[in-house]
Amino acid sequence: MASRHLLSLPHRSLKSLRPFSHHLPRSIHLSTHPNSDSLPSPPPPNYMLYDRLAEQIKSKLARLDHPDQRFLQHNSPVPCRADHASALSFPETKITTLPSGIRVATESNLASPTATVGVWIDAGSRYETDEANGVAHFLEHMIFKGTKSRSVRKLEEEIENMGGHLNAYTTREQTTYFTRVMGKDVAKALQILADVLQNSVFDENQIDHERNVILREMDEVEKSPEEVVFDQLHATAFQHSPLGRPILGPVDNIKKITKGDIQKYISDHYAPHRMVVSASGAVKHEEVVQQVKQLFNKLSSNADTTCQLVAKEPSRFTGSEVRIHDLEDPLIRFAVAVEGASWTDPDSIALMVMQSMLGSWNKNAGGGKHVGSQLVERIAIDEIAESMMAFNTNYKDTGLFGIYAAAEPESCDDLAYSIMHAMTKLCYKVSDDDVIRASNQLKSSLLLHLDGTSGTAEDIGRQLITYGRRIPYAELFARIDAVDSSRVKRVAKRFIEDKDIVIAATGDPQNTILPDYNWFRRRTYWTRY
């Protein structure tokens, strides 16, 4: 009876009732959506409360499938992997390749008051001919001896007035010209570098003067036994190959190098695609790029690449030895090495760790009896050497890995045994603790080398020439940390175990007990361990 009374309510009282949806909380009301056509239609007004709530939830789920584009620019409901490249590559190295092919790379640090700007060229003594061996180093001396618009005096005064420092060096595969100046003088430094590289006059009188300077420099190098050992080591390791030529060249070549030889070398190798302009410190990348684009416009048009030149004259490693008599030196200085890895070889990082494991030591520096390197510890305790140094030299297609040492003649036998035992042991017995310790030392030395604008600019220029890019610290350290004891043993077996070696020695090695080549060669492997 009661329900029948409810159904017989007057029509006006039904109209006076508010829709049931008005009693719902505001929080569950749907807002107008741009994509409302794709969403479910609103439920009819006579739905029960739980039906309406169910429809509200379905609508919210549909909204996730069809998000409002206005909000996607701020946050996306769809998860995605974040790109941490910018954080991992900090500080950022900006690289721009100009239409001419020259690359401009900078690492800005506007808090630094100084800057280093330089040109790194993928050309060195390796790309000379036998007849012109020494011209790359000769050119390094002549490049600062006056241009069409700057005399030698004016050039030196400009550098001095800026309080700057202008320098250059030549290696077997690279030539570098760089200057350190205050941040406000970066533009002027670039002008000077562009001028000397493109407009040098190479006056005949200056050439004759520098010829005598280089000959005196060669005499000084001959008095440095360590320099002699490494030059002879390359000569015997890469005999009849371009890498075997000395950087300074033979005396006969220095005496007859002409202006034409220098200009030909520039036209053959100083091409923009083989150059990197590197800057670090108080520099702005966009400004440096614009200046390089304007200034470096008269370079060589030779399209030959270093890869093509290396393919024409590849390096050839030859197991051999050379011993030079030097009765004036009371010590025996020698280096023993195996063929190493190229710059881009996957095992080059492991060889860097192995070099750190072998270590270096000098008697005058003190210490050494409580270090991580077992070789250094043994040499220091037994006092069988004056100094020793592990080295790892990389080139485009090969390398040299070994140890240099200097010792009294009566200690050479024990020292040679210790060196070969330590090198060959890397093939068989390596502890994780030694690898971790060496990896930490390697990372520290790499960071210390980058302390300052000059080290950073050099690192940028060298890596762009050798790797084609700047390797971030995070990636480089990850590669170092990936080297473990098993990898060290694998790499040592590849490069050391039963492999040919090269030996270079100075002093009086023939009349001492420095072992012969066959003795060293037999100790590149163990018959039991």
Q: Which residues are catalytic?
A: 140, 210
Give the SS3 label for residue 432.
helix
Contact 291, 474 (CB under 8 A): no
Give the SS3 label for residue 403.
strand
Closest C-alpha to 415, from 427, 403, 425, 426: 403
**Strand-pair partners of 389:** 360, 404
Q: Tokens 């140094």 — which residue?
A: 389
- Alpha-carbon distance of 400 to 184, in angstroms, equals 42
- Alpha-carbon distance of 382 to 370, in angstroms, equals 13
Burial (CB count <10 Å: 0-12, 13-18, 19+), residue 66: middle
Would you give the distance in Å from CA 249 to the centre of its chain? 27
Q: Compute the C-alpha angle 11/12/15, nearest 5°.
A: 95
Phi and psi angles of residue 134, each rounded to the nearest 5 degrees, phi first: 110, -10
Q: Report how far apart, in Å, the C-alpha atoms of 190 and of each of 104, 195, 285 are.
A: 12, 8, 13
In residues, how long is the chain?
529
Phi and psi angles of residue 295, each rounded to the nearest 5 degrees, phi first: -90, -40
C-alpha atoms less than 13 angstroms from C-alpha of 86 in its C-beta half-sphere: 2
